[in-house]
Amino acid sequence: MTQLRPFKQVDVFTSTPFNGNPLAVIMDADGLSDEQMQTIARWTNLSETTFVLPATEPAADYRVRIFTPDMELPFAGHPTLGTAHALLESGISLNQPQQIVQQCGVGLVKIRIADDGALAFASPEAVLTPFSDAPISSALNSDKLEEQLPVMVADMGIRWLLVPMKSAEAVLEIKPDAVEFARLIKKSNVNGVMPFGPLKGVADGYEVRGLLIEQGSLTEDPVTGSANACLARYFQARGVELDYLVHQGTAIQRAGRVTVTYASDGVWIGGQTVTVLDGAIRL
């Protein structure tokens, strides 16, 4: 029997459509099998598709499952904010005003609602492990690594290799070697690589990129919440807790913007989200 389920496609980490990271949200996934969810995610062919389910934890407002075209993820940043935006727009009833609690594979994640509609999630803790591998430069095709800062693997349920670069320009000049990059991903056992460098003329600002392999091919994520959360934990572990702004997506003609805020109640990764498509998906 054909079913219609509420569906939205939203653009995350931007206030202007088509400049951020798109996300498909199946607003009511109750009763869908794992296989159906994976099939839908493969069909949407976006970096992630989320499926909203009733919460099983009393403190949570809803439960979400996050799928790439290849696999399920326990947590990801832009799907967290994009799903929250879609549900708020649809009039979800919250347990507490101005705060959403999402249940996902890493547990409960808090999402803060700002007066201007921006959302921010509380970064989960990250396990940081130093990583040293000679092919990093060859994998990125760059000799402009910032050697005064360590390369780290950050594990937040999803794993990112954080690579400091000398400047934002050095980040944007990166043209990865596909073979060496695949080798680097395998050796570091990460989901993706995030090079980062300071923005010229922007106080407390960084240019970052999210490079990864999807469906066997090297690709670039437009804007990456989880990697930015990992980077925020990286700075914190080094004793630096200064709020900052991230530019991401520049190399692929996007204009993603991510805010990082250090507060007494956590590290918050935030940005705007806009809805692009609103309707139903036929199952």
- Catalytic residue positions, numbered: 48
Nearest to 193 by CA among 237, 166, 232, 227: 227
Q: DSSP alpha helices (H): ranges in 136-283?
A: 136-140, 168-172, 178-188, 225-237
The Cα 17–Cα 10 span in angstroms is 8
Contact between 141 and 176 under an 8 Å Cβ cutoff? The reply is: yes
Cβ contacts of residue 97 below 8 Å, gap of 6+? none
Q: Token pair of 270, please?
A: 């935030």
The Cα 152–Cα 146 span in angstroms is 13
The Cα 63–Cα 29 span in angstroms is 10
State which amino acid sits at residue 238: R
The Cα 247–Cα 201 span in angstroms is 13
Please, what's the b/e burial string for 182-197 (b: 16 or more CB within 10 A of its CB; e: otherwise)? Answer: bebbeebebbbbbbbb
Residue by residue, DSSP assigns 95-125 as: SBTTEEEEEETTEEEEEEE-TTS-EEEEPPP
The Cα 194–Cα 103 span in angstroms is 26
